[in-house]
Amino acid sequence: MKTVIIYGSCYGTSERYARELARQTGAELHAAKDLRDLTGCGLAVHIGGLYAGGLAGLRQTLRLLPPDCWLMAVTVGLADPALPENVRNIRASLDRQIPPDVRERTLFYHLRGGIRYDRLSLRHHVMMGM
């Protein structure tokens, strides 16, 4: 079974993490928006920015995820993953996005994101109250 790395990135941090992981592991790399097929995949590593709507690009990955495939959900965001309360909030958000049957075969990891305020979209500026 193959491993596929998928990323959903708005500002580039998740993509950089995904590209580096693919380089180190030799796994296939796909942008979530371009993902068409996960047939034969034993592990899908989804790396995405964490926004109010959940993990970026995860909907596409979940739609194509084979029933016997494991999912590694890697969030990239501004919340410090060393703080238990932040991890609880992130997991609550992911629990709303990932169906229970998939959650049973999902591993969760959380990474720090980067932010460049000059590149934020108007929508994200407003959401952050800037």
What's the CATH number where 49 sits? 3.40.50.360
Distance, in Å, from the CA atom of 8 to the CA atom of 30, rounded to the nearest integer, reads: 9
* 37 contacts 66 by C-beta, under 8 angstroms: no
Distance, in Å, from the CA atom of 84 to the CA atom of 68, rounded to the nearest integer, reads: 30
Distance, in Å, from the CA atom of 54 to the CA atom of 13, rounded to the nearest integer, reads: 16
Distance, in Å, from the CA atom of 13 to the CA atom of 90, rounded to the nearest integer, reads: 18
Query: Could you give the residue ranges of the DSSP H alpha helices within the chain?
Result: 13-25, 58-64, 84-97, 100-103, 122-127
pLDDT at residue 20, as a whole number:
98
The range of the structural domain enclosing residue 31 comes to 2-127
pLDDT at residue 122, as a whole number:
61
Distance, in Å, from the CA atom of 6 to the CA atom of 32, rounded to the nearest integer, reads: 6
**pLDDT (tens place) for every residue of the chain, 130 residues total:** 899 999 998 778 999 999 999 999 999 999 999 999 999 999 999 999 988 768 999 999 999 999 999 999 999 988 888 999 989 999 999 999 999 999 999 999 999 876 665 665 565 545 555 4
Q: How many domains does the chain have?
A: 1
